[in-house]
Chain A
């Protein structure tokens, strides 16, 4: 049994290490800033209550994601929120990009939001959370081969969208 000080320190470490990633993940699955914040807060509240069950700190990130996904499913099992906020995100550094690059990012964001969840989620896990295909396979309960197919298709759809919208860039010709 952890002392209260150790418990608090462990929890603070989790908030520091994974809070931002969880927020991004939540934002991309629910598309709304206020809901994403609520989801992350609820996740951490549940994590605090169940902290003694987390024996392996290396598993903390996937443990938190599992809680968040469950909470998302529970909260939105009846109602799927409309995506609004992500498209409006303007990152300060992006102001310095060329207009064509900014357009490409905007189109990519729109494309990500319109990806079917079965493609979007593995992509988020890989890019936002840094998961390997094996880790995604465990998190989603599907085979590694299925994960790879979904990731491939997710990228294909995004590239097609960019081409369709006339963003030529220099990355799509080969696909």
Chain B
């Protein structure tokens, strides 16, 4: 039994590229059906063109790097009880020294995780609601300065080790809560690389001088700060 034109139009609108034999037979059954199918195909091509927006360059690599970070993270977690026990022993009389002397990070990602696990929570707890006094003096020693919009929300700042020398560890009092920023004056990173470890997300930011890691409770928050941080830590004149 042949298909009615109204039914054919309905199928054409629902699944224009159907391979169903009944549909394909109907398609060739008369010039009217063929014309309708040709028009639907034209529309479909345009629809496809509209929907198939380009994916960002390097997307697959970025996603693959997420797994590598998560793998490192799970490896860290697996050894965490032993590491904690060892660190308690070492910490007696030498608090922080072991970590500060550690220059053995294999990558900036490993450094960020190690650093944050070392004192991320402690520094976060130090931050008050008021802005820190010593922002520009610490940053100027690293040959950069914070623009006023950034300087005004830094609740705490302190020197810290980085893979390539001295840097700064800051807590920003943002509208959505405190966020950690680690400034690394001499370290180069892949801009916008993301890390996920423990219960935090981190985003690496390439800066005009050096780089920074933004660390916060969720990806949306840290991503939203990318442009702000990139434009707010600027080289001192003649020090780029």
Which residues on A are within 8 Å of B, measured CB to CB? 4, 8, 11-12, 15-16, 19-20, 23-24, 27-28, 33-35, 37-38, 40-42, 44-45, 48-49, 75, 86, 89, 91, 94, 101, 104-105, 108-109, 112, 124, 126-128, 132-133, 147-149, 151-152, 155-156, 158-159, 169-175
Contact = CB atoms under 8 A, between A and B. Distances in A.
A16 B60 contact: yes
B39 A174 contact: yes
B51 A170 contact: no
A113 B111 CA distance: 42
B59 A20 contact: yes
Given A23-B55, A27-B53, A41 B39 contact: no
B14 A41 contact: no
B42 A171 contact: yes
B13 A155 contact: yes
Contact of A127 (B39, B42, B48, B224): B48
Interface centre among B11, B35, B52 (most CB of A within 10 A): B52
Interface centre among A23, A37, A101 (most CB of B within 10 A): A37
Contact of B13 (A48, A101, A151, A169): A151
B13 A15 contact: no
Given A89-B53, A108-B47, A112-B50, A34 B67 contact: no
Interface of B: 9-11, 13-15, 35-36, 39-40, 42-44, 46-56, 59-60, 62-64, 66-68, 70-71, 194, 196, 219-220, 223-224
A49 B59 CA distance: 19
Nearest to B69: A45
Given A15-B64, A16-B60, A108-B47, A91 B10 contact: no
Contacts, number: 127
Nearest to A91: B54
Given A127-B44, A133-B14, A171-B42, 8 more contacts: A11-B64, A12-B60, A23-B59, A24-B55, A35-B220, A104-B46, A152-B14, A169-B42
Contacts of B9: 174-175
B112 to A, nearest CB: 16
A94 B49 CA distance: 9
A70 to B, nearest CB: 16
Contacts of B48: 127
A169 B70 CA distance: 50
A12 B42 CA distance: 36
19 contacts: A8-B67, A15-B64, A20-B55, A23-B59, A34-B224, A38-B219, A41-B66, A41-B219, A44-B63, A48-B71, A91-B53, A108-B46, A149-B14, A151-B13, A155-B13, A169-B42, A169-B46, A170-B42, A172-B43
Contact of A86 (B11, B36, B53, B196): B53
Contact of B67 (A44, A75, A132, A149): A44
Interface centre among B14, B15, B196, B220 (most CB of A within 10 A): B14
A40 B58 CA distance: 13
A50 B51 CA distance: 30
Contacts of B220: 34-35, 38, 75
A142 B230 CA distance: 46
Contacts of A33: 56
B14 A127 contact: no
A27 B11 CA distance: 28
A4 B74 CA distance: 12
Given A24-B55, A112-B50, A45 B42 contact: no
Contact of B62 (A41, A48, A49): A41
